[in-house]
Amino acid sequence: MKVTALTLISLLGLTTAAPIEEKRWPSDPTIIKPTYISNYNINTGGLTYNPAVGKAKFDKTSTISTFTIPSTLSGRKCSLNFHISPSDTAATLSAATGVQVFSTNQVPPTYNVASWGPPGNQRNQHYGNLKLQKPGNGVVDDWPQTLKEFPCPVGTYAWEVVAKWDVAVEYGSGVSGLYIKPL
């Protein structure tokens, strides 16, 4: 087989033009990222399905992250965490960085809706509070601390990230946000 200089140059060009992978989410291959997110408008009850930016703003907006949890985790323990990637250009945090995490009674639909319920946003059990940091993982803060360890549910489940007091958080939904870590 005859290889020409032009062929070698072409192949070299292809390998050097390959995109560089950005660091997104924690590098642990066992984490479960959201299947989709929805922004919940606290004033109108409306949901925005699969927005580019997740938001938690006190008395305005929260974000509901929906996960598909495999049956292989049945009987195991899980934790909920929040990660802000160093490459997340949409990430902004107010001076106060506390958020609350709640389970939901119902998984949000996979489309926009003017009003979701009844009643309200389907908020259920308070799993705990996180202090977010940019970049990095949130730190469990205060009580309850269910976020740290709970029985892994199997199937489709959702959790809501709600601003605590005068907090405003935004993050790129493809690179940052709530995730599940099997223990």
- pTM for the model: 0.84
Which pLDDT belongs to residue 119? 59
Which pLDDT belongs to residue 118? 63
pLDDT band at 5 (very low <50, low <70, confident <90, very high): very low
Which pLDDT belongs to residue 48? 97
105 vs 15, residue with greater confidence? 105
Between CA 167 and CA 161 the distance in angstroms is 12
Which pLDDT belongs to residue 21? 38
Between CA 63 and CA 90 the distance in angstroms is 15
Which pLDDT belongs to residue 31? 95
pLDDT band at 147 (very low <50, low <70, confident <90, very high): very high
Between CA 183 and CA 175 the distance in angstroms is 22
pLDDT band at 120 (very low <50, low <70, confident <90, very high): low
SS3 assignment, position 12:
helix
Which pLDDT belongs to residue 63? 96
Q: Are 45 and 109 in contact (CB under 8 A)?
A: no
DSSP element (H, E) containing 99: strand 98-104
- Is the confidence at residue 8, as pLDDT, over 60? no
Between CA 57 and CA 41 the distance in angstroms is 10
pLDDT digits (tens, 9 = 90+) for 50-104: 999 999 999 899 999 999 999 999 999 999 999 999 999 999 998 778 999 999 9
- Is the confidence at residue 6, as pLDDT, over 80? no
pLDDT band at 165 (very low <50, low <70, confident <90, very high): confident
Ordered structural domains, the chain, with CATH: 23-182 (2.60.120)
Between CA 9 and CA 179 the distance in angstroms is 43
Burial 13-46 (b: 16+ CB within 10 A, else e): eeeeeeeeeeebbbeeeeebbbbbbbbbbbeebe
Beta strands in 36-89 (DSSP E): 36-41, 47-49, 53-57, 61-69, 77-84
